[in-house]
Homo-oligomer: A and B are copies of this chain.
Amino acid sequence: MASIQSALTDADWMKLSADLSSQIGELRARAVVLDLTLMDVMDSFATRVLRTLAQTVTLRGAQTILVGIQPDVAIAMVQLGLAQRLDGILTALNLEHGLDMAEALV
């Protein structure tokens, strides 16, 4: 489980991705829940990074669940054409729903 803040840089994302990738092994995790509640904007950069992260998680044999995307952010992502770039990644309303979903997967 990780909570993402809006202003992560390229380097921060790389580090998060590497950390998650190794932690999946240590914790034998089946799901990674990313909390995006604090993201006030999801632009193409953030979308691409999330997609890359989800691909890494998939190759490590776990599933990514995105939670907490805010209403306005969801609408902006769709208008920019970003939403379909996250196709195939699970989503849930909030952390609670996301953890339920993760339980159900395990």
Of B61, B71, B77, B98, the residue contacting A69 (CB under 8 A) is: B61
Interface size class of A (residues with CB under 8 A): 35 or more
The reply to whether A91 and B28 form a contact with Cβ atoms under 8 Å apart is: no
- Cβ contacts under 8 Å, A56 to chain B: 74-75, 78, 83
Between-chain CB contacts (< 8 Å), 12 pairs = A18-B71, A24-B71, A25-B71, A28-B93, A29-B93, A59-B69, A59-B73, A59-B74, A59-B77, A59-B86, A59-B91, A60-B74
Binding site for B on A (CB under 8 A): 17-18, 21-22, 24-25, 28-30, 52, 55-56, 58-62, 66-67, 69, 71-75, 77-79, 83-84, 86-88, 91-94, 97-98
